[in-house]
Structure 1
Amino acid sequence: MDPYYQLAQQYNLPIGVHTGGAGPDHGSPHFRLEMGNPNLWRGVLDKFPDLKIWLMHVGVQFYKEAIAFMKLYPQVYADLSVISDPDIIEPDEFSVMLDAFISNGLEDRLMFGSDNADINKMINSIHNHDNLTPLQKDKIFYKNAEVFFKN
């Protein structure tokens, strides 16, 4: 994969990676939950320090690891889309995760929309989140992505 990472870094092309686990319908008899840990990307980012990646699902079960990982690597962003769907993640659990990212100073690196389930439910979850300011919502919905995907 190194040649692909090198090209992505050279041309400032972000890489999206699925993190966290999967439901019972994942379809693979060889599925291993630990493969969704964002820390598995440390070696890649140490080798390619300008490679930009975004963590789809913010690590879900590994969200605490994702927070620590993002603090080490400023070029790493995370996407909230699927985890903000109340049919996938309980709203209280989503709130805990989102608040943890915000309280750790990562509001400028959270995005929305790169990997979707029910878009209307996900938008409402973020709009209705009590602890987010209007500016933080704008950052999550589009401003952070403008920065991240700028080439």
Structure 2
Amino acid sequence: MIIDCDVHHTRKHVRELLPYLPEPWKTEIAKYGERKMNAGILQQEGGMRWDTQPPDGSPPGSDPAHMREQLLDRYNIAYALLSGSGHHITAIPDPDYATALVSAWNDHTIAHWLPQDRRFKMSLWVAHQDPAAAAREIDRLGGHPDVLAVWFSSTTRIPFGHRWFDPIYEAAQRHNLPIGIHPGQGGAMLAQPAPTAAGMARSYLEWHVGVSQLYMAQTANLILEGVFERFPQLRFFLVEGGIAWLPHLMWRMDAHFKGLRQQAPWLKRLPSEYVADHIRLTTQPMEEPRQARHLLQIFEMLDAERLLMYASDYPHWDFDAPTALPSGLSAHARERILYDNAADFFGLPARLRAPDREGRV
């Protein structure tokens, strides 16, 4: 049994959103389609697996039956967390439009996806350009039994530790929903003017390689700005950002905090201790060192048996099957990463274990 923490679903056509949109956005999208955020970066090569297009020619990730056959059944997925494909939305400067669009996305997922298979669960999209509106969206749908998380795109001008986002965090904590952060669209740069520490990336390749920088900065900001002291039950999981950067960041935060703790007086523990209690990573895409033993060392350094959760990134080009986990992992670690860690994190049923010789499970 496996829990997949990042499955990108979409619509066959933008017209499917129209019944869930208020005016004037309904008329606008019917006439012009969705607003796009491009910055001269070729992104098509960062597209979908060639074999994920459904037989009827609709977009990859738009057909529940095809996804069921190609992902859920093939890999024994017990739960698939639907994460959408609108990561450009939080780069759009118009907060009213973005809020209306994510609400339509959420309603479409509830109506068109959740009834198709009990294994489908959903992330609740919010537009964090307007934290008050985002909190209302969490209150509107956060009690739905198949909503497992709130979903953020990384496209933002304001780092996530800033108190600007506190209304969202209050609502997420109130509903006991962790927040997933996913990389924003590579070309969606208006709300994220410097997607790398060096500035604007020239290509999708460069942007994709540098995604870990975003997660390092956001993780440090969340912890050092005291988010988890203000919201002690709040949790985050970081999707598609790699994993090898986390040990380095924890060591560096702890060492610097010991000398500069007066600059973060609200922290009551070492920064790395907040990571252990409040932050999880997903597997895809894992680093690929030349020697497999080095990846196992990274797993040990970041305590992967507790902090790592499986994600496939279906149907994208860099999809990882469950077999992508390093072969040298123990059976216990593999089970925790593929199922148990996510079950604990999202409050899903525990994995059914085979009885031992005495009939105990």
Amino acid aligned to 2:284: S
Amino acid aligned to 2:322: I
Q: Secondary structure at the match of 1:82?
A: coil
1:105 aligns with 2:289: no
% same residue:
26
1:126-137 mapped onto 2 (5 Å cutoff): 126=325, 129-137=326-334
Amino acid aligned to 1:15: I
Could you give the per-residue CA deviations for residues 14-67 of structure 1, whole angstroms, max 9, x where no partner exists? Answer: 101247xx9xx8224521344331212112223212101112245546332455
Aligned to 2:186: 26
Aligned to 1:125: 324
Aligned to 1:40: 221
Q: CA deviation at 1:106?
A: 4.0
Unaligned runs of at least 5 residues, structure 2: 1-164, 198-212, 254-270, 349-361
Is residue 67–residue 101 contact of structure 1 (8 Å, CA) maintained in 2?
no
Is residue 241–residue 285 contact of structure 2 (8 Å, CA) maintained in 1?
no
Amino acid aligned to 2:234: L
Aligned to 1:80: 283
Aligned to 1:86: none
Cα 1:131–1:50 shift into 2, 3 Å: same
Task: Compute the TM-score of the two structures, normalised by the length of structure 1.
Answer: 0.71
Cα 1:36–1:108 shift into 2, 3 Å: closer
Task: Compute the TM-score of the two structures, normalised by the length of structure 2.
Answer: 0.33
- Supply the distance in 2 between the matched residues of 1:41 and 1:97 (Cα, whole angstroms): 27
Structure having greater relative contact order (Cα 8 Å, sep ≥ 6): 1
Cα 1:123–1:91 shift into 2, 3 Å: farther
- Supply the distance in 1 between the matched residues of 2:176 and 2:279 (Cα, whole angstroms): 13
Is residue 18–residue 36 contact of structure 1 (8 Å, CA) maintained in 2?
no
Aligned to 2:344: 147
1:2 aligns with 2:203: no
Q: Secondary structure at the match of 1:137?
A: helix
- Supply the distance in 1 between the matched residues of 2:292 and 2:250 (Cα, whole angstroms): 14
Q: Secondary structure at the match of 2:299?
A: helix
Residue in structure 1 matching 2:235, options 38, 49, 52: 52
- Supply the distance in 2 between the matched residues of 1:58 and 1:98 (Cα, whole angstroms): 18
Cα 1:101–1:131 shift into 2, 3 Å: same
Is residue 81–residue 122 contact of structure 1 (8 Å, CA) maintained in 2?
no
Is residue 296–residue 328 contact of structure 2 (8 Å, CA) maintained in 1?
no
Structure number with bigger Rg: 2
- Supply the distance in 2 between the matched residues of 1:136 and 1:108 (Cα, whole angstroms): 9
Aligned to 1:13: 177
Is residue 243–residue 283 contact of structure 2 (8 Å, CA) maintained in 1?
no
Amino acid aligned to 1:35: L
Amino acid aligned to 1:63: L
Q: CA deviation at 1:114?
A: 7.0
Q: CA deviation at 1:90?
A: 2.8
Cα 1:3–1:115 shift into 2, 3 Å: farther
Q: Secondary structure at the match of 1:138?
A: helix
